[in-house]
Amino acid sequence: MHHMIELNSHRFYIRRMDPFTALGVLADLQRTILSPILRGASGKELGDKTKVTEALVSGLEEISSSLGRDQTLALARMLLDPEFISVEIRLDNGTYSPAEKLRDAAVMVTLRGASDMLTLCVEVVKVNYADFLEPLAPLISKARSLTEGQLADFQRNSPKN
């Protein structure tokens, strides 16, 4: 079964990863994203919402300061594995091309920027880990907006070729 998301008038189909691949991806996500959040919560009394929010913000700040370009790109490539994502490209006449694996050429045609890439990454996480991550949904949304801001800063400050 495939999950379909429409983005920029193109149709993306996300297939669940096989259990071994999903477990390996989860391990990398946990190490890169969840560990800093848990460190932010370490030693804090989490009995009320304010303290939980403070702990999450502390963890997200650690992610923002430690997640570099190479790690971000590696995570995106791992999540946007062409073996599990295909795309139907909307043509000028309003029809769609036959579905093709989401390789770099298709990425360049269908995704307009970092925000689109993050949107697709979040969808892959939802499809593969929804039952596991449901309690963390608000946190994932916050992490996405922080990461989008970080990527926008990076793009603004990068030397132009």
Do residues 110 and 10 touch, judged by C-beta distance below 8 A?
yes
Given a cut of 70, whether residue 17 has pLDDT beyond it is: yes
| Residues 146-161: tens digit of each pLDDT | 656 655 666 666 665 4
| Residues 27-82: tens digit of each pLDDT | 888 888 777 666 665 555 555 556 656 666 666 666 666 777 888 888 889 999 99
Number of neighbouring beta carbons within 10 Å of residue 111? 21
pTM: 0.69
Helix (H, G, I), strand (E, B) or coil at 109: helix
- Domains: count for the chain: 1
Identify the domain containing residue 26 by its residue range: 2-157
